[in-house]
Structure 1
């Protein structure tokens, strides 16, 4: 029977990140065939992944990346089960590497099927489930394009946001980061009132109307009151109308215009754990 030598065990461990004893057993089962041993460890990962499929992977790392010319961005969440794993340096490094790869893909399925060092991203996640012993998966996947993008990752890697601006101008880098911080902190529903869904508007109007009726407001003034209520709703919940967190005396749109009167926000994406 083949007995693995220490150098081969160390090599397999460095390649896969699996435990020493797991690597030794895999090499013994594979009779020294290195690639076969890797497959054995992956199959072990598949078994572990299946056993943990119903586990809650609400911890992890949310990472935002933007390409070199600041025109393409992506955010992913690499999810796990415990905060202990989420804070692990190797886990965070993997999240950054995967987020960098995500820049090349328009949707989550394409990304999961893409090649990642000789295996698909999906296979890598299964492998890591076996190595770490926790359910590891891609939770959120968001991509965005624009004339100029800037990103922000909140401390602890729990929230990330990317903002798209209408042009690359002096001060665009600072604006994009500041607005991304706003998005991360205030979680707007939409860019402006035109992008709020009709379903959301109808629901808000229904709630406010019922409250006004209960308060005994005259029927002939309720519609006018509702207009004011919706203006307040848009101010609180749409990005351009929100009070700017760094200077509450101005709106986010006013802040952007103060840097360049022709500059506008054209979009944003946000991902948070939980």
Structure 2
């Protein structure tokens, strides 16, 4: 006997996955009412849909700006989709906003995808790790494995799509984008971003308050 699927649980699954109501009901029916199994099935379906759309040209979209810390940190990110219709949708704009906020929250992020990292960055990190004192007495093969693990961890911290979403740590930014591809029905790409930190790169003035007071009193 098939499990009875209530409208309430269908809505809960929709809220959790952003999938369509009929898709949620079907997934629950196929999973005999098991919420976790239905969620996993919808997730796999969404990833498959996103993979099919990932090669499609995306030249529309928006440039989103996010200012934080009272104007001391600013993020500009370009997120692309296929049509202006989707670019105007609130879901797409919310996605762009969330991505900008994610970049603001992750100062170590420098690249969108792992493929964007130049080979020399990995080589530099490997050289740094190989020279660390805690690896000095270890056999070469063990040392290589430890260093490789540390490098992969560091490189992952630099990649935006690999970061846990600040509003839902159960998914990465890459998975968040794929979820929106499934929901909105278009290819979505994070194209580029810039981070602006107030005073970054400038030589800051060292305040000598004692000397300043003496100077004022001598007038």
Interval of TM-score (by shorter of Structure 1 and Structure 2): 0.5 to 0.7
1:57 correspondence with 2:58 = yes
Deviations 1:164-204 (A, max 9, x none): 9999xxxxxxxxxxxxxxxxxxxxxxxxxxxxxxxxxxxxx
Q: Following TM superposition, by how much is the alpha carbon of 1:87 offset from its aligned partner in structure 2, in angstroms?
A: 0.2
The residue aligned with 2:163 is: 114
Please tell me whether the aligned partners of residues 72 and 145 of structure 1 are also in contact (alpha carbons under 8 angstroms): yes
The 5 A counterparts of 1:1-274 are: 1-105=2-106, 106-107=109-110, 108-109=112-113, 110-116=159-165, 117=168, 118-147=170-199
Unaligned runs of 5+ in 1: 149-163, 168-274
The alignment yields a C-alpha RMSD, in angstroms, of 2.3
Please tell me whether the aligned partners of residues 92 and 180 of structure 2 are also in contact (alpha carbons under 8 angstroms): no
The 3 A distance-change label for structure 1 pair 83 and 25 is: same
Bigger share in helix:
2
Q: Following TM superposition, by how much is the alpha carbon of 1:39 offset from its aligned partner in structure 2, in angstroms?
A: 1.9
The 3 A distance-change label for structure 1 pair 3 and 79 is: farther
Q: Distance in 1 between matches of 2:6 and 2:197?
A: 51
Please tell me whether the aligned partners of residues 146 and 166 of structure 1 are also in contact (alpha carbons under 8 angstroms): no
Q: Following TM superposition, by how much is the alpha carbon of 1:64 offset from its aligned partner in structure 2, in angstroms?
A: 1.4
SS at match of 1:103: helix
Provide the TM-score with structure 2 as the length reference. 0.62
Please tell me whether the aligned partners of residues 63 and 78 of structure 2 are also in contact (alpha carbons under 8 angstroms): yes
Deviations 1:94-121 (A, max 9, x none): 2112211111233224221111112001
Q: Following TM superposition, by how much is the alpha carbon of 1:15 offset from its aligned partner in structure 2, in angstroms?
A: 2.2
Q: Which runs of 4+ in 1 moved over 6 A?
A: 164-167
Deviations 1:3-62 (A, max 9, x none): 421111111112222111111112122222223222222211111112112211111121
Deviations 1:144-166 (A, max 9, x none): 32228xxxxxxxxxxxxxxx999
Please tell me whether the aligned partners of residues 113 and 120 of structure 1 are also in contact (alpha carbons under 8 angstroms): yes
Please tell me whether the aligned partners of residues 59 and 86 of structure 1 are also in contact (alpha carbons under 8 angstroms): yes
Q: How many residues align?
A: 152
Q: Distance in 1 between matches of 2:181 and 2:98?
A: 17
Provide the TM-score with structure 1 as the length reference. 0.51
Q: Distance in 2 between matches of 1:77 and 1:35?
A: 34
Higher relative contact order (CA 8 A, sep 6+): 2
